[in-house]
Amino acid sequence: MVNNFNKRPAHYFKKRHEICSQYFMKPKNLYLISFIEGGVVMVTELAGAKILTPFFGASLYSWASTLSITLFALMTGYYTGGYVTTKSRFASSNQIIWVFLVSGLSVLIMPTIATFIMQKTISFSFFSGLIISELLFLFFPIFLMGMISPLIIFQITKKAELSGRSAGNIYAISTSGGILFTLVFGFIVIPNYGISLPLRILGLSVAALATVFLIKDKLSAKKFPQALFLILLVAGISFNKSRPSIPLKDNMKLLEYSEGLLGELKVTNEHVYGNDGSPTTVLKLRVNNIPQNYVFANLPTQSLFPYVNFTRQLLKHFPKKESALLIGLGAGSLFKVLKDQYAYVETVEIDKRIYDFGVKYFGMLEHKEHFITDGRYYINSTKKKYDLIIVDVIIGESIPAQLITLESFRQIYKLLNTNGTLIIEHGGVKGFTENAFVPSIYKTLTATGFQVNLFNPLLSEKIGDVMFVATKNPLDVSKISLLPDVLIKGGALLQYTLPITLFDYKSSNILTDDKNNLDVLLKSHYFEIRKSIRKELASFKSKKSDRPF
């Protein structure tokens, strides 16, 4: 195609631009479309990955799928856009407007289509459901956006020898749009306004801009009524679903729903039965459908997670208890435990919604010593010293690898006082003998200089929470006994210990910033969690939220 393009005589380019100049599409308008196209591609990719998380998680595998589908869509879009420029009907720039318009509509309706599709594919195998879902809801809008750059390059190239410069200009403008939109949506829009609504507004804005271009284009102005009808139809379908259909069981009532930085957050009121058969009502905070907090509805400060109550009993036996740092808020149950025993408590949470939900639903007291930032950034920048640091971030698939490295542990070691303690909680572990992640953390902590003990509040050697208690000085486990607590039997701490030999120690390694194979070590854990979540979602009924959006 390039050869044929270069062989075309000069009068071909002159005549083509004489034709195009009769209509409105000036270079500045084409550059504007290119800028917006680059931004929309990046936002669509970012939003697509976040839309996936409630159904297929936020692990490396989900992101790899999103990137692959994005590149595949761009590749086919670039090729198709270049191919159609060889057809005479694309000699006029009005075709760009129509591609731009349809791409905007596809972005507008993407959240609605995505939810519908994933509710159907949730019963597929992990990889099949993941790839098929993204091919159906993510591929088409990015494919259309990919077509635009070759079409614009074709329009603005006046001479064959200038084709390289034209292409460079367009891709530079498109990329600059991608940079700006990614920063604005990643740092401001999505954290504050969620995913679906901004995506719909973005798609509608693109479609509206395309209609403005249609009105100004002499070739296409007559088709404005059809375009307007199409926009109104798609917008009606999309915004009619702006109150999302949430997968819920019959015993659940949705209290709060939010989309944002960590993905989908839900607070549900659920009627359940205790071990003795008595009915009770609980509140749950779910992040991408994985429980993050679990309490009695009439006693929201009392966690029903065993590790929280285990930690409360364990801390009573620690020495000096002045200052504590909690990284990973989990809506506040551990904060309540620390606040009851420590004079000064700081909390760090990357998603402000977790803090807000903790105050609103889970009885957490508002406190000024709270920081909305990345945990690794905070420990690298703070100058304070602590008697206790708790890292409660290893749950589900969204695990911040930067906090579980040798370099991070060394910094934490420096922040701890002489008798200081680091506690790391790893929740919902299944199949201890095949787990190489736990011994990798163990090796990394010991390489830092910590004395490490492992505990499981569930008193099981196969499944449960794994708690790392890392101290600068040896912890005499034999002298500590726990009192009975909610879901904690109590008794000698020694019976809660886990020998490291239970785990796959041979496959483990020290985790560093440079070499951190966390996703590989947790692969079976990811799949087991997501398998159980997808099985649960498949049994749910789709109900509309009670809250306005």
Does residue 35 have a pLDDT over 80?
A: yes
Render pLDDT for 326-337 as a digit per residue (tens, 0 to 9). 999 988 999 999
Average pLDDT over residues 22-34: 76
Tokens matching residue 424: 């790391």
Show the CA angle centred on residue 85, arms to residues 82 and 90, nearest 5°.
Answer: 140
Average pLDDT over residues 293-318: 92
* Residue in this structure with the two tokens 């919604």, named with its chain if needed: 353
Average pLDDT over residues 488-502: 94
Render pLDDT for 99-131 as a digit per residue (tens, 0 to 9). 999 999 999 999 999 988 988 887 788 888 889
Does residue 22 have a pLDDT over 70?
A: no
Higher pLDDT, 401 or 530: 401
Q: Which of 166-170, 254-258, 276-280 is the least confident region? A: 276-280
Q: 343 and 305 in contact (C-beta within 8 Å)? A: no
Does residue 215 have a pLDDT over 60?
A: yes
Q: Which pTM does this prediction carry?
A: 0.78
Average per-residue pLDDT for the chain: 85
Does residue 64 have a pLDDT over 80?
A: yes
pLDDT score of 259: 82
List 390's β-bridge partners, or say none: 326, 423
Percent of the chain past pLDDT 90, that is, above it, reads 49
pLDDT score of 382: 95
The DSSP H or E segment spanning 442 is: helix 437-448
Q: Which residues contact 377 (CB under 8 A, 6 or more apart)?
A: none
Distance from C-alpha of 169 to C-alpha of 53, rounded to nearest angstrom: 36
pLDDT score of 526: 66
Render pLDDT for 358-370 as a digit per residue (tens, 0 to 9). 999 999 999 999 9
pLDDT score of 90: 65
